[in-house]
Amino acid sequence: MSPSTVTHRVRFLRHPHPGFPHLMAWGIRIDGTDLRVLVAEATRALWSRELDEDDYTLRESEESLLGQHAPLYLDQDADGARARAHFTGDSPPELRDRDTGASCLLGCPCGIDACWPLLAMIRATSTEVVWSGFHQPNRPEWGRLPLGPYVFPRPAYDEALAAPVPLTEDPLAPLLGEGQP
């Protein structure tokens, strides 16, 4: 890490998947903010060009932006090895873009992560983990999203990944309208 590199904090969360509460998902916070909130901000202007604002209330628009992605469901393994491998750049083929090698950090709310993924390059060294080149492969015209790069010190990253914060519900549930009429 060079002295001018800005480092970030990552926190991994384990909570019920928003669409499939019987499955435990891997949520992500960067510097205390849910990655889905960061993506909503990064894509707000892009979506505004595609959607007719008269078709949605402000609340529906916000729920749609925040709900465009879901935390990943990674099959359970006893020691969390699959999640550690995935989040350090050794993603399974179904969660990796075959052309770019980018890994899926967020998936689709439908439950098929690769359906509407948020992809980024993950580069892990002995001293840092870097997430960069965020993009939505189903919207190539959007290009790279204005997210990151995020540089995480490797020891803190590994510690966060080894001890995800357990939650009883998706932290964005109140903002996604879940449980509301």
Structure confidence at residue 137 (pLDDT): 93
DSSP element (H, E) containing 36: helix 35-50
Nearest CA among 135, 155, 131 for reference residue 145: 135
CB atoms within 10 A of CB 155: 11
Question: pLDDT: is 6 or 75 the higher one?
Answer: 6
pTM, rounded to two decimals: 0.88
Structure tokens, 3: 């002295």
Q: Mind listing the pLDDT tens digit for each residue in 109-158?
A: 888 888 899 999 999 999 999 999 999 999 999 999 999 999 999 999 99
- The alpha carbons of the chain give a radius of gyration, in whole angstroms, of 16
Closest C-alpha to 69, from 132, 143, 119: 119
